[in-house]
Structure 1
Amino acid sequence: MTKGIPDPPHHACCDLYAFGTCNNHHAPIFSVRPGIFAEEALVHAIQLVQQAYQSTTLAREDAAAPARRLLGGTQLSLEMIEALLNKVLDGLVLLPVNPAAPQRPPRLKQPIRGEDFR
């Protein structure tokens, strides 16, 4: 006998995602909760990338020449990630959410400098 109705497709995007285990030495400290809207997650990811870019900029100011080149490559990668995330967010078919997602952070115009903190 054959089954007349196929099984529904499996969507693995709604499960809890945990991280921060220190190479599995303890239970996860952090998690991404199920039910987070994609728009909210992308806005938060853009903010995280911008913060990583700013931290890399500060580290690059104090680094020696070989490390400065590596940090420059990291900065370029972070800029590319931010551009990709913004394009994905632009192309996302947004559904009405309650409450509305946070505002998208503005594009970085000028990185912070070490002397801003001294």
Structure 2
Amino acid sequence: MKKPVPDPPAITPRLATVHTHFSVCNDSHKPLFAVCAGVDIEDALIHLSMTLKSAFETNLQVCELAEQEVGDLAWSNYHSLEISRALVESLLKGVRGREVKAE
């Protein structure tokens, strides 16, 4: 027998952050800061993207102002930040695409 009303699609739970502390200064004191648990993954990725953008732009200024030896290190850091930022943007697109497919 066929049901007159189909079952609603299963709702996939949203991913979220878990409590993670940081800024412990080599265990010389208790952690000063923490990522709070329960923040929606998309919101957390947006904040991470903004933080990486700031670090990216600050590091670019260092690259332009630093002497050769330090400048080489700054350029290496620049590329690491560029990779990190691209990965975050890709994750955000994936999370948003997942939402569209689920609807």
Query: Is the shorter-chain TM-score for this pair beyond 0.5, marking a shared fold?
Result: yes
Q: Which amino acid aligns with 2:73?
A: L
Structure with bigger RCO (C-alpha 8 Å, 6+ apart): 1
Q: Which amino acid aligns with 2:23?
A: G
Contact 1:46 1:85 in 2 (8 A): yes
Q: Percentage identity across aligned positions?
A: 28
Q: What TM-score do you get using the length of structure 1 for normalisation? A: 0.64
Two-structure CA RMSD over aligned residues (Å): 1.7
Contact 1:49 1:81 in 2 (8 A): yes
- Matched residues, number: 83
The residue matched to 2:30 in structure 1 has which SS? coil
Structure 1 segments of 4 or more deviating over 4 A? none
| Structure 1 residue corresponding to 2:68, chosen from 40, 65, 70 | 65
| Structure 1 residue corresponding to 2:46, chosen from 34, 43, 54 | 43
Equivalence for 1:82: 85
Equivalence for 1:19: 22
Q: What TM-score do you get using the length of structure 2 for normalisation? A: 0.73
Question: What are the ranges of 5 or more consecutive residues in structure 2 without an aligned counterpart?
Answer: 1-15
